[in-house]
Structure 1
């Protein structure tokens, strides 16, 4: 008989506490009060994280494409060649410029890997869409930082969010959504987050870009369902 079979049986709540670690299970236990309720809260947290991450996927893609489109148009109007991604505005921070360089390198490696697998030659250079896909949500969140109010925002990025009254109305929600995205990505608890507020911010940001997309988004996102089913 195996060692595992010889072990005494344990209740699922206490077993999970051990396997997840007391330090990880502790916040759920403190919030729920009993081990059984903590397990229910943990299960809900997993489901809610999935729903929120799914919704954030759309928010991120809509935001990055909107900003990229307007920066590309502004770049072209100034008579600059290529793309703003490879000839970034001087006002960008050194960190942002480094991120652009890394994104292009990552895009190139990804294309080379795909071409090797499919035996495609010659290997094409990354196009702007390839580079945009490699940039993180954090990169785009900092593109609407207040330091850019009188340059990038006024010249280009404000046109990405035609429904927004000002930069702050975009920056503040994106700060919150970026923090939520990072918590979910690092498997942190979100049961103490104000998901109603985060959902409003998601809808708000998408609506600033295009109310028609916001209308569709409101019918498919599952965050409200998660809110409604919290134990």
Structure 2
């Protein structure tokens, strides 16, 4: 690429976005752009890993919450379509309503050719519109600034003991601490890659292991499949050299 063309690309990517790449490349514009292209590939790979992890996480948790809610309500009813029993309701209500609203909106704009055009809203429709952060907020919060005596955290611990721990049968995690940190780390990474922020100072390999360990705590078969599907390690190993 000619220097003048490279300068145009760098300009339109934005000085603030390119700053960490130029810093690592010692001001070399060609090296910085190569580093940025590599970072874009890494970001796409991380997004794929996180997307698959989120699907497995939410399906495992959803299964257990549905069982818990049916027992608490003494009837079979969707905890996403209808108000769930407490303390689940108090922990998820705002995020549950948002997912319900977004799912209803998506239903109304389905074109006539859509295979489910005109169908009623289902539990799975709402589940697909839940946010990663909702699952983190359901887990016992072990952040240093969080009091374990806080009522919401007591509710989270109750849900962990009565329901959520069963979503991770292969984890030795009596108080949910391991699971919380794995999900919290992945949630932070999800927010970062969603905004195409730099991953240069992120231990991506360590975060990928969080994803593998998390799905492995659900079922080791899932870990084996996910590690075989992920391309994160291959891309990390092909980081451009900066001279």
TM-score (norm 1): 0.88
Aligned pair partner of 1:47 in 41, 64, 72: 41
Computing the radius of gyration from Cα coordinates, the structure with the larger value is: 1
Which residue matches 1:214?
A: 223
Separation in 2, partners of 1:28, 1:92: 44
- Secondary structure of the residue aligned to 2:86 is coil
The list of structure 1 runs, each at least 4 consecutive aligned residues, that deviate by more than 3 angstroms after superposition, is: 9-13, 92-95, 118-124
Aligned pair partner of 1:136 in 100, 121, 131: 131
Separation in 1, partners of 2:116, 2:213: 45
Residues 105 and 36 of structure 1, relative CA distance in 2, 3 Å threshold: same
Residues 46 and 122 of structure 1, relative CA distance in 2, 3 Å threshold: closer
* Structure 2 gap segments, 5+ residues each: 142-152
Residue 16 of structure 1: CA displacement? 2.6
Deviation per CA, 1:117-167: give whole Å up to 9, x if none: 249999433111111001011111212133144311101010001112221
Higher mean alpha-carbon deviation, 49-58 vs 134-143, is at 134-143
Which residue matches 2:104?
A: 108
Higher mean alpha-carbon deviation, 31-40 vs 206-215, is at 31-40
Which residue matches 1:185?
A: 194
Within a 5 Å distance, the mapping from 1:69-80 to structure 2 comes to: 69-78=63-72, 79-80=74-75
Residues 226 and 77 of structure 1, relative CA distance in 2, 3 Å threshold: same
Residue 94 of structure 1: CA displacement? 5.2
* Structure 1 gap segments, 5+ residues each: 1-8
Aligned residues: 222
Within a 5 Å distance, the mapping from 1:54-203 to structure 2 comes to: 54-78=48-72, 79-85=74-80, 86-92=82-88, 96-114=92-110, 117-118=112-113, 123-146=118-141, 147=153, 148-166=155-173, 167-203=176-212
- Secondary structure of the residue aligned to 1:200 is helix
RMSD (Å), alpha carbons: 2.2
Higher mean alpha-carbon deviation, 173-182 vs 123-132, is at 123-132
Residue 211 of structure 1: CA displacement? 0.5
Higher mean alpha-carbon deviation, 137-146 vs 61-70, is at 137-146
- Secondary structure of the residue aligned to 2:109 is helix
Separation in 1, partners of 2:218, 2:29: 44
Indicate conservation of the 8 Å contact 1:108/1:125, yes or no. Answer: no
